[in-house]
Structure 1
Amino acid sequence: MTWVILLLAGLSEIAWAVGLKLSNGFSHPWISLFTLLGCGVSLFLLGIALRALPLSLAYGIWVGIGVVGSAIAGFYLFDEPITLTKLLSLALIVVGIIGLKLSS
């Protein structure tokens, strides 16, 4: 169950990152509220996961999910350019996440 909580924490991180972009510097109140709520949920779930997982593992995976998910969201939602360098870099992050998981 801890891994599901950590996954949900990572997905919540993606949600608040997207919300941060959509809020346009917190100039849209409802989107800003969604962003802050997503941030709170993400940190809360990470805190729960840290009860059972080591910091290096949980935080690394949480950040990795957020980075990869936010990049993918940027590609699809905001038409950010996809380059080979970006894809290779994201692949390395995924390999790092897998390595952290396998090391546990």
Structure 2
Amino acid sequence: MSQNTGAGWGLLALAIILELSATILMKVSGGFTRLWPSVFMFVCYGASFTLLNFSVKHIPLGVAYAIWSGVGITMIGIVGHYFFEERLKITSLLWMSFILIGIVGLKWSES
């Protein structure tokens, strides 16, 4: 594992942004009925997985994947609520908060 963990966290952050973008595009593609959102969805997912792959050279795999998926789940829940008018139950918000607490714990364990 490399000592350049700053680069690993930067790559992971970009991977999360691309995963969030891809998931938004999934919704916008309308079940593959719209060509360009569908194409860009695949591009963003591919780029996200590529950056995640590079980040695990610097960050343990379990930590990187848990943060990538946990932040993605939480952010897409928020985006769905505010941009796609999807209802978020209070229990959903509670469980998302537990995900975020776990992510913070994982980051602290890496320090």
Which amino acid in 2 is paired with 1:20?
Answer: M
RMSD after superposition? 0.8
Which amino acid in 1 is paired with 2:101?
Answer: V
Q: Equivalent residues in 2 for 1:12-51 (5 A)?
A: 12-51=18-57
8 Å CA contact 2:77–2:88 kept in 1: the answer is: no
Q: Distance in 2 between matches of 1:69 and 1:41?
A: 18
DSSP 3-state at the match of 2:42: helix
Structure 2 length-normalised TM: 0.90
Structure 1 segments (4+ residues) deviating >3 Å: none
8 Å CA contact 1:19–1:32 kept in 2: the answer is: yes
User: Max radius of gyration: which structure?
Assistant: 2
Find the counterpart in structure 1 of residue 98 from structure 2.
92
Structure 1 length-normalised TM: 0.95
**Does residue 8 of structure 1 match 2:9?**
no
Unpaired runs of at least 5, structure 2: 1-6
- List per-residue Cα deviations over 1:53-92 (Å, max 9, x = no partner): 1111000000011101111110011101122111111100
Q: Distance in 2 between matches of 1:69 and 1:9?
A: 13
Unpaired runs of at least 5, structure 1: none
DSSP 3-state at the match of 2:85: coil
Q: Distance in 1 between matches of 2:61 and 2:105?
A: 15
8 Å CA contact 1:11–1:65 kept in 2: the answer is: no
> How much identity, in percent, do the aligned residues show?
38
